[in-house]
């Protein structure tokens, strides 16, 4: 089945130690998104890629970076995690250019910062 | 700017009860409307959608009708099960957005007891 895959599902890192979360998709969608979600609040958009074009939300901290080496993969890098960065990180994809605007989400990576 | 308002939770009800979650929105033009569901520890799943006025989205016994005159998209289910316990998010996207940004409501937690 076509899907959005996130690895790992659970990640523990130490305060200040860089960490990378990964997302892959078999949907061949051209837009990929990264969200941060805390305590069943609404997901907060960090940034998105439209093909290779990177778009940062204005309030996303510089500590968060992203890479998209090809259509299928996208990475979230947290350069120096703080305790406040502990959250669920969700990857999503969509293909709005076709007129279909729904986003397809992965299962998420739960990040713990110790 | 665009916004989505949904009723606060938690909503607690017994199995086989009728569920309504109210959702209203503010947006210019004709947004697409969505309901997403999030089960504990999981990512978001698209539950249903509607793309134009008077459209009714339905899935798994859930329904919602796009009401432009009242700017609403209330979610209903006639007989809930324990397995429907989850957080439900109402969301919209402007179809004039080239990349399909989702605006979420705050989420409503639903707890169904046997």
The mean per-residue pLDDT over the stretch A19-44 comes to 94
pLDDT, residue A39, reads 86
Please tell me the distance from the alpha carbon of residue A57 to that of residue A29, in angstroms, as a whole number: 20
> In chain A, which residues have their Cβ closer than 8 Å to the Cβ of B102?
45, 103
Q: Does B89 touch chain A (CB under 8 A)?
A: yes
Please report the DSSP string for B53-75 in residue order.
Answer: TT-EEEETTEEEE-BTTTTB--E
> Which residue from B41, B42, B49 is facing A102, i.e. has the nearest CB?
B49
Closest C-alpha among A88, A43, A80, A87 to residue A64: A80
Looking at CA atoms only, how far is residue A71 from chain B in angstroms? 15
pLDDT in tens, B41-69: 899 999 999 999 999 999 999 999 999 99
Tell me the pLDDT band of A23, cut-offs 50, 70 and 90.
very high
Interface A–B counts its CB contacts (< 8 A) at: 61
Closest chain A residue to the Cα of B38, Cα to Cα: A40
Q: Are B89 and A50 an interchain contact pair (Cβ–Cβ within 8 Å)?
A: no
* Long-range contact set of residues B73-76: C-beta below 8 Å, sequence gap at least 24: B73/B23, B73/B24, B73/B25, B73/B33, B73/B35, B74/B20, B74/B21, B74/B22, B74/B23, B75/B19, B75/B20, B75/B21, B75/B23, B75/B35, B75/B47, B76/B18, B76/B19, B76/B20, B76/B21
Which residue would you say has higher pLDDT here, B28 or A57? Answer: A57
- Show the low-confidence residues of chain B (pLDDT under 50): none
**A9 pLDDT higher than 80:** yes
Using pLDDT thresholds of 50, 70 and 90, give the confidence band for residue A22.
very high
């Amino acid at each position: 089945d076509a899907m959005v895959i996130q690895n790992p599902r659970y990640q523990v890192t130490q305060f200040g130690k860089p960490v990378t979360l990964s997302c892959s998709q078999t949907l061949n969608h051209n837009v990929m998104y990264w969200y941060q979600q805390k305590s069943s609040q609404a997901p907060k958009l960090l940034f998105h890629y439209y093909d290779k074009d990177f778009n940062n939300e204005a309030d996303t901290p510089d500590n968060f970076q992203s890479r998209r080496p090809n259509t299928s993969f996208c990475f979230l890098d947290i350069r120096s995690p703080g305790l406040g960065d502990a959250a669920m990180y969700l990857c999503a994809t969509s293909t709005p250019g076709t007129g279909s605007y729904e986003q397809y989400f992965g299962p998420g990576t739960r990040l713990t910062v110790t | 700017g665009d916004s989505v308002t949904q009723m606060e939770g938690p909503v607690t009800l017994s199995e086989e009860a009728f569920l309504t979650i109210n959702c209203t929105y503010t947006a210019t033009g004709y947004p697409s409307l969505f309901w997403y569901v999030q089960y504990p520890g999981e990512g978001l799943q698209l539950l249903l959608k509607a793309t134009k006025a008077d459209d009714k989205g339905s899935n798994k016994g859930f329904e919602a009708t796009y009401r432009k005159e009242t700017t609403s998209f209330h979610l209903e289910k006639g007989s809930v099960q324990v397995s429907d316990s989850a957080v439900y998010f109402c969301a919209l996207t402007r179809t004039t957005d080239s990349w399909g940004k989702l605006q979420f409501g705050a989420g409503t937690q639903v707890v169904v007891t046997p």
